[in-house]
A and B are shown apart, each in its own frame.
Chain A
Amino acid sequence: MRTPDSSQASPLRKESESEGALSWSNTATARFGDERTPLIKRFQIFIHHHSTFVPFIILLASLLSFGMADGTTFLSLFNISLVVQQVTIIATVGIAQTLIILTAGIDLSVGTILVLSHILMARLAVQNGLPVEVALAAGVAVGTMCGLLNGCLVTLLRLPPFIATLGTWSIFGALNIWYSHGETVAAGQIASAAPLLQLLGKAMRFYGAAITYGFVMLVFVYSGMWYLLNKTALGRHIYATGDDNEAARLAGINTKRTLLAAYTIAGFICGIGAWILIGRVGAASPLAGGTLNLDSITAVVIGGTSLFGGRGSITGTLIGALIVGVFRNGLALSGADVVWQEFSVGVLILFAVAIDQWIRRVAK
């Protein structure tokens, strides 16, 4: 059954004839970032690997331009620390949101979880007279449980994250109104019954700057999450799951457990954020934080994290939250109408997503 063409079946294992040209073909391998790459392309590759670069430049530029337009007031330590105070909660929720968006999901309920937790803390301590530490722990625990519920809906019931959290957003919001009877727990009541709840609103003062304990808490949350994302296996798995879910699964990652962990940790961070919110506002109102859900997504997106998952960082989210804060504060100081604050945030979002789409094409 042998054919005369023995070269293909030769025991000498010669290369196929069609590949004979290989021996004298160019053997140089692909090189990256070489001098022939156009500048714009090299820039594209650079920001592809440093997702916080563009947000960082925007933050610097906005600080400079508002500083030049407004001078001493805007760049005073007091005003800068005010901006930081204003964005502390958005940044905290933004970190939670980043965890979810890195897995290529989205969480529309984060802000509502935070509001529910803070109402629970305040009412348990003030109305029910529980020890304040217990009330605090219960609030954080309920936040964590809400995150776990989101995670279960996404992993066990396989609901798309957008729809799952749209549903829980309504549910948590309704529970929030039902439990609080739509009533605010006044700042004075909290101050007398449970002063610990307001601790994170207190500030340390240096040279006119006011650093709140809430900001210190944000630094803790940031450090913890930075460590989790960059130094532990779970962090790698979060990136890998968001990058390519199927590939991560085949590589042996338990992607469901990874997603469950991401949503649960996000809920926990919202529970911590609830404590910061009571500190910032003093009171606990079921109507607080109405825009937090979308604001957190804004901070993440402006911070250079890709909505398609797998690329970005919580450092970017901090910068993103600061950019929004600087724009709002700068425009307010320069006497512009409030509508232009919203307008500029909208432009920033579109700009950030357009940049993301552009640099995603590098990988293709």
Chain B
Amino acid sequence: MMQVPVLQARNLVKRYGSVTALDHADFELLPGEILAVIGDNGAGKSTLIKALVGAIIPDQGEILLNGRVVHFRSPLEARKAGIETVFQNLALSPSLSIADNLFLGREKRSAGAWGRLFRALDERGMRAEARRALSGLGITTVQNINQTVETLSGGQRQCIAVARAAAFASRAIIMDEPTAALGVKESRRVLELILEIRSKGLPVVLISHNMPHVFEIADRIHIHRLGTRACVVRPTEYSMSDAVAIMTGATKAPC
């Protein structure tokens, strides 16, 4: 019954001067699940996530990928290991096309001599793959893959950023507040997208302040408090007010 976690952290400590941002924190992401990470402002959620993807290096503790200890020194290394992050600012370039954005930073060179000698890009191949990535996730509101990202709505942009992560992630996707800037309808679209990704077998870490969203789609909820994991609960067993109570310290963590 014991599953090996896809991504695991044990005993992480990170101190900034006299402030302890991570205080012996643990973390476990199981295969194929949506794990929500909630916590009050300043609880250390971002520090935890940054440590997991190599954006900061913890002072103590270890991070395991599929049961093996890893030492990411930058988000790029985590990305190479198959962990993609959807940042809150999306990291899209507005003046470039959707296809260009999907492959931004990892463009494919064309196979022929032009690609080898003159670094020509395989534009047709990238466009085809971009189209496949979008339709594979059921993103159909975007018709033209050559459209620039600045012509898209906030929700469509979020979908592009999620699709990019899904296209390249082989182990896990981490999403930082994916619905924070979106309207009701657009949020719904993004939540469906997250479920779609889980159905493809990829586990998702969802950092969010939106309790209804968290309780609707998460399989388990990691509640972060005072720099450490207070508790992991199942949304079927606890209510939102229970979670908020644990998060703020009003109730003692039950587990």
Contact = CB atoms under 8 A, between A and B. Distances in A.
A and B pair up? yes
Interface of A: 1-3, 5-6, 8-11, 13-16, 18-19, 22, 25, 29-30, 32, 49, 227, 231-234, 236-237, 239-240, 243-244, 246-253, 310-311, 362-363
B216 A253 contact: no
B241 A251 contact: no
* Most B CB within 10 A of own CB, among A2, A13, A234: A13
A98 to B, nearest CB: 15
Contact of A251 (B91, B123, B211): B91
B254 interface: yes
Interface string B98-115: 001100111101000000
Given A3-B239, A9-B239, A250-B87, A16 B212 contact: yes
Contacts, number: 118
B184 A311 contact: no
Nearest to A29: B141
Q: Is the interface of A mostly helix, strand, loop or mixed?
A: loop
B49 to A, nearest CB: 13
Contacts of A243: 93-96
Given A239-B93, A248-B104, A250-B87, A13 B217 contact: yes
B60 interface: no
Contact of B104 (A5, A25, A253): A253
Given A5-B239, A30-B153, A32-B151, A311 B95 contact: yes
B240 interface: yes
Interface of B: 75-76, 79, 87, 89-96, 100-101, 104-107, 109, 118-121, 123, 141, 148, 150-151, 153, 156, 184-185, 188, 211-212, 215-217, 235-242, 251, 254
B220 to A, nearest CB: 13
Contact of A247 (B89, B100, B185, B239): B89
Given A19-B184, A231-B121, A247 B92 contact: yes
Nearest to B109: A233
A126 to B, nearest CB: 36
A3 B150 CA distance: 44
B238 A232 contact: no
A316 B220 CA distance: 54
A171 B72 CA distance: 42
A239 B89 contact: no
Nearest to A362: B150
Contact of B216 (A13, A237, A310): A13
A240 B96 contact: yes
A247 B93 contact: yes
Contact of A18 (B90, B184, B236): B184
B93 A8 contact: no
A344 B39 CA distance: 61
B185 A244 contact: no
Given A25-B185, A236-B104, A240-B104, A9 B215 contact: yes
Contacts of A1: 238-239, 242, 251, 254
Which A-B residue pairs are the 8 nearest by beta carbons?
A252-B105, A250-B91, A240-B93, A233-B107, A363-B150, A16-B212, A251-B104, A29-B141
A3 B241 contact: yes
Contact of A9 (B107, B150, B185, B236): B236
